[in-house]
Amino acid sequence: MDRRKFLIGAGSLAAGSAAAMGTGAFTSVSADRTVDVALASDNSAFLQITKARDDSGNVKANAKDYVENLSSGGLKLDLTSTDNGGQGLNKNAETIFDDLFDITNQGTQDVRVYVKNIPSGMSVYSEDGEKGGTLNYNNQTIPSEAPVLSPGDTLEDVGVIVRDPQSVASSDESMTIVATNGLAGPDGDSSDGSGV
């Protein structure tokens, strides 16, 4: 008899525990997880930005004179002087700097590439055959006419035109190179942007 009481008691305890535990459904869960994000320099990032090179892999003349590799891994345009003694832009003149840098899609999907936050008095363009043209887009939408780079594609020979040297002369601003897989959207910020 004591054994029956024990079994009935144990069965009641198990049933009570199951009722207390419920069916396994839950209302919420909070769990910490880690995320690995790698930062890369411009030459090894998903959107690679490098000094312009010719077909033999040599850095082009304007890229040598006006593009600096920063210790942070980025690039800087320096239009203040050259190795040949020039000390800046002509006043009241339009100055064109071809072949400064190349942009390569090292990601896994097609991206539309353009430039925003361009200092006033300056334009950015590419002379790259079918993909070439203006890259200026300071408006609030992703431009449908901006060039599309498939994985592995390069937008070559990106340059700048300085139309108002006075507005650019003392500028230490950044412009933003944007690559987005969206066709259109607000702010053009659904992307990885890289500053130059």
List, for residues 13-58, the tens digit of each pLDDT value.
455 555 555 555 554 454 555 455 555 677 778 889 999 999 999 9
DSSP 130: G
6-22: b or e for each residue (b if 16 or more CB lie within 10 Å)?
eeeeeeeeeeeeeeeee
Low-confidence ranges of the chain (pLDDT < 70): 1-40, 82-83, 85, 129, 138-141, 168-171, 182-196
The pLDDT of residue 135 is 79
User: 111 with 82: CB under 8 angstroms?
Assistant: no
Question: How many other β-carbons are positioned within 10 Å of the β-carbon of residue 67?
Answer: 23
User: 149 with 155: CB under 8 angstroms?
Assistant: yes
User: 158 with 102: CB under 8 angstroms?
Assistant: yes
Q: How many residues does the chain have?
A: 196
The pLDDT of residue 131 is 72
Set out the domains of the chain in order of their start, with CATH numbers: 47-195 (2.60.40)
User: Which token pair is 48?
Assistant: 């690679």
For residues 128 and 126, what is the distance between their CA atoms, to the nearest angstrom? 5
Identity of the residue numbered 105:
N
30-55: b or e for each residue (b if 16 or more CB lie within 10 Å)?
eeeeeeeeeeebbeebbbbbbbbbee
pTM of the shown model:
0.71
The pLDDT of residue 63 is 92
Q: Residue written as tokens 């944007």?
A: 178
The pLDDT of residue 10 is 47
